[in-house]
């Protein structure tokens, strides 16, 4: 995923796109950055995190935590690392 985003999804004018030949837009830029972050960091679901949130069953989005960065099969430079999302 990280290799595809960095090699095929970048637009020379800025932003990220769905696939080569398409124009970049805010929607695909947002989701490509989220995908790149997911490819670079290890995210884990933990029911113990933010236990007080979502008492009515809507707390799942707030129970994710970030562990370590992936160091296997790195295909990006240090300047390509996206922050934790």
Neighbours of 64 (CB within 10 A): 13
pTM above 0.85, yes or no: no
15-37 mean pLDDT: 95
Q: Where are the domains of the chain?
A: 2-80
DSSP designation for 16: B
Question: How far is residue 34 from each of residues 37, 39, 43, 56, measured CA to CA in Å?
Answer: 5, 9, 12, 27
Confidence of residue 55 (pLDDT cuts 50, 70, 90): low
Confidence of residue 75 (pLDDT cuts 50, 70, 90): confident
Element (H, E) at 33: helix 26-40
Confidence of residue 56 (pLDDT cuts 50, 70, 90): low
């Amino acid at each position: 995923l990280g290799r595809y985003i960095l090699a095929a999804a970048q637009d020379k004018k800025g932003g990220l796109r769905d696939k080569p030949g398409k124009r970049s837009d805010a929607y695909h830029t947002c989701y490509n950055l989220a995908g790149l972050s997911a490819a670079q960091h290890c995210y884990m679901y933990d029911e113990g995190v933010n236990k007080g949130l979502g008492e009515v069953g809507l707390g799942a989005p707030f129970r994710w935590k970030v562990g370590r960065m992936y160091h296997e099969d790195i295909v990006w430079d240090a300047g390509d690392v996206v922050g934790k999302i």
